[in-house]
Structures are given as structure tokens and as C-alpha cells.
């Protein structure tokens, strides 16, 4: 149920692991100037570990550390540099939004700018089975706790937005059937593909950009202050899911991978088309109508989701292309 402890990737994750295993607290070492926090393996792993205490926890780590002041202090220090990098990453995207538009038009502007490279297209047309498994290992970091980060927001909303978030999450959490939990469906797909379905099993292979997608979601979900960003993130996530899921299912069937894998993605083709409407029209719009000061945060969340997915996607494709090049004889 809890994640296994991964190997450290540098001084920051070593510090976090030490703190979690009972070492005396030490201050965060000065991060190198110009560090690309969102692509830094060491920083992202440390942040992921500290945030994980609020999710399923870590094997061999005292659960009371979730609210330990020293652990929280380190988490806050890392969150601060992480959020500064996220703001920087989305600055140009947000500049394209017309401040006079209504919220749905502003969200549509951001979605229309989605320039992320299409991992789904690659999976549909070109990927081999090993590349598919590589993709699933990275995605397992999120899908094995699918929808959990956004669930932290439920008690922070009221009225129509709360009802719609509960409706959306009812689907994600199985629609009343334990066998329908989306995280379980993904675990079954992993197992069918010969991959370890255990929670956190692929953490050591998770790249910084994969972890950054996840740490951002958890930070937005865990801070009431960022509830607008969390729901904007959800809106972008659901709005960019349906078509890629169809392509991924196509790729899975093309390669003859187990049915459970295509079934997982096919389940999301229609569901996420509905979730997109719920998230934009029934969550974000009433939330901003009730609390107009959250509009900027909603847009930040939308832009952050798109930008971080693009970052992770670009990295994934670069690696695959490099691999493909190596295999082609000169």
C-alpha cells in the first residue's frame, strides 16, 4: 500500500530520506544557481517523498512525520522553489489570455495553445511494446493514485462546485464498485503487461519531469490557498485526456497488448469527455462565480497542467527518438 523508499539522487533527496528515517534535521543545502527545478531529479524526488506522506506514506517511515515541523519546513522550502519555477514556466502562456474574456473563453485560449508533443500519437503509430511499457512505468506514478491529489479539494469547496467535483470523482473512484476504481484498473493493466502493479514500484525509474507533474498536483491539492489552481489543473487534465486516450488504446490494440490496457484507456475516452464539461462548466465556473479572486489561480492551474505535460512529453519523445536512432544502423 505504501511506496517503497527509493535510492537518493543527490544531496537534497539524501537530506529528505535522512529526515524521514530519523536523522537530525539539517538545513536545505543551497541549490545551484540557475538550477532547472522542474527537471532536477534530486529536487523532484525529495519533494515527491515529502508530499507522499500525505498520500499513502512510505515503507519504514513513521506516519507521524506527516505533520512533523522539520519535515514540513523542508517541504515548504522545496515547494517555494518549485512553485516559482512553475510560475516562470507558464508566464508566456498566461500572457495570451484576454483579461476581458469570460473564464470558459480564457480556458479555451490556453487549451488552444497546447503545443505539447504528442506522445499519444507516437504510441498510436510507432511505439513498440517496450516503449509502451516504458510509458506505463512513468504514468504509474500518477495512475496508481489516480484522482487522489484533486480529492483534497472537496472539503475546500461548497455549493455546485463541490457537488460537481464529487460527481467527477465518483467515476474515478469506481462509481460505487470497488472493482471499478481507476487506479485498480491501471494496476491490472500493468500486471497484464508483465509490469509490477505495486504502488510506487517504478519510482526509481520516474524521471524528474514525471515527478514534477505529480508534485505540482499534490501541492495544488494540499494547499487550500491553491484550490483554484487545483481545479484549473483538473479542468485542463480532463480536457486533454479523451482524444489521447483513444490514440493510446489504438496503439495498444495495434501491438496486440493485453485487453486490460486498451480497456483502461477506452474507459477514459467517453468518461473524460464528460469530465471535461463537469470540470470547466460545473466546477471552475461556479467556483469563480462564488470567489472571483480565484480566477487567476484557475488559469495558473490550467497553464501549469499543459506546460508540465508538454515538458514530460517532450522529454519522453526525445528519449525514444534517441533510442530509435541508436537502433538504426548508420
Residue numbers at the binding site for Fe ion (CB under 5 A):
172, 182, 272, 275
Q: Is the dihedral of CA 314, 319, 324, 325 positive or negative?
A: positive
Contact criterion met (CB below 8 Å) for 81 and 42: no
Does residue 86 contact residue 216 with C-beta atoms inside 8 Å? yes
Cβ-closest position to Fe ion: 182
Give the nearest distance from C-beta 35 to Fe ion in angstroms: 33
Which residue number, 233 or 275, has a Cβ lying nearer to Fe ion?
A: 275
Of 165 and 203, nearer to Fe ion (C-beta) is 165
Burial class of 27 by CB neighbour count within 10 A (0 to 12, 13 to 18, 19+): exposed
CA geometry: angle at 97 spanning 94 and 98, to 5°? 150
C-alpha–C-alpha distance, residues 203 and 212, integer Å: 13
- In whole angstroms, how close is the CB of 167 to Fe ion at the nearest point? 11
The total number of residues shown for the chain amounts to 330
φ, ψ of residue 173 in degrees (nearest 5): -100, 30
Query: Least distance (Å) from Fe ion to the CB of residue 279?
Result: 8
Give the nearest distance from C-beta 132 to Fe ion in angstroms: 19
Q: How far is the CB of 147 from Fe ion (least distance, A)?
A: 6
Comparison of 20 and 184: residue with beta carbon closer to Fe ion? 184
Nearer to Fe ion, 72 or 243 (CB): 243
> In whole angstroms, what is the distance from residue 257 CA to residue 190 CA?
11
Least Å from the CB of residue 148 to Fe ion: 11
Q: Which is nearer to Fe ion, 44 or 138 (CB)?
A: 138
Looking at residue 292, the DSSP 8-state letter turns out to be: G
Torsion of CA 41, 42, 46, 52, to 10 degrees: 20
Distance, CA of 234 to CA of 12 (rounded, Å): 29
**Nearer to Fe ion among residue 97 and residue 107 (C-beta):** 107
Nearer to Fe ion, 15 or 287 (CB): 287
CB of 152 to Fe ion, least distance (A): 16
Task: Map residue 23 onto helix, strand or coil.
Answer: coil
Amino acid at each position: 500500500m505504501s511506496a517503497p523508499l527509493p535510492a537518493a539522487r543527490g544531496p537534497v533527496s539524501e537530506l529528505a530520506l535522512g529526515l524521514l528515517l530519523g536523522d537530525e534535521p539539517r538545513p536545505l543545502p543551497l541549490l545551484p544557481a540557475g538550477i532547472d527545478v522542474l527537471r532536477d531529479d534530486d529536487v523532484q524526488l525529495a519533494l515527491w517523498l515529502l508530499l507522499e506522506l500525505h498520500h499513502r506514506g512510505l515503507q519504514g517511515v513513521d506516519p507521524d512525520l506527516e505533520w512533523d515541523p522539520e519535515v514540513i519546513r523542508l517541504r515548504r522550502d522545496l515547494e517555494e522553489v518549485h512553485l516559482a519555477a512553475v510560475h516562470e514556466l507558464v508566464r508566456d502562456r498566461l500572457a495570451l489570455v484576454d483579461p476581458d474574456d469570460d473564464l470558459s473563453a480564457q480556458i479555451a485560449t490556453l487549451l488552444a495553445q497546447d503545443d505539447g508533443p504528442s506522445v499519444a500519437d507516437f504510441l498510436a503509430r510507432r511505439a513498440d511494446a517496450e516503449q509502451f511499457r516504458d510509458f506505463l512505468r512513468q504514468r504509474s506514478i500518477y495512475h496508481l493514485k489516480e484522482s487522489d491529489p484533486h480529492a483534497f479539494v472537496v472539503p475546500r469547496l461548497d455549493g455546485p462546485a463541490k457537488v460537481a467535483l464529487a460527481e467527477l470523482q465518483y467515476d474515478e473512484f469506481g462509481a460505487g464498485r470497488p472493482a471499478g476504481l481507476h487506479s485498480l484498473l491501471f494496476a491490472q493493466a500493468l500486471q497484464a503487461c508483465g509490469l509490477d502493479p505495486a504502488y510506487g514500484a517504478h519510482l526509481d525509474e520516474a524521471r524528474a519531469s514525471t515527478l514534477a507533474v505529480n508534485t505540482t498536483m499534490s501541492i495544488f491539492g494540499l494547499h487550500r490557498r491553491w484550490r483554484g489552481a487545483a481545479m484549473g489543473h483538473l479542468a485542463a487534465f480532463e480536457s486533454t485526456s479523451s482524444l489521447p486516450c483513444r490514440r493510446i488504446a489504438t496503439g495498444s490494440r495495434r501491438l496486440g497488448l493485453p485487453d486490460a490496457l486498451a480497456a483502461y484507456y477506452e474507459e477514459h475516452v467517453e468518461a473524460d469527455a464528460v469530465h471535461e464539461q463537469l470540470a470547466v462548466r460545473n466546477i471552475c465556473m461556479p467556483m469563480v462565480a462564488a470567489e472571483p479572486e480565484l480566477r487567476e489561480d484557475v488559469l495558473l492551474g490550467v497553464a501549469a497542467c499543459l506546460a508540465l505535460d508538454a515538458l514530460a512529453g517532450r522529454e519522453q519523445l526525445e528519449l525514444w527518438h534517441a533510442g530509435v536512432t541508436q537502433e538504426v544502423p548508420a
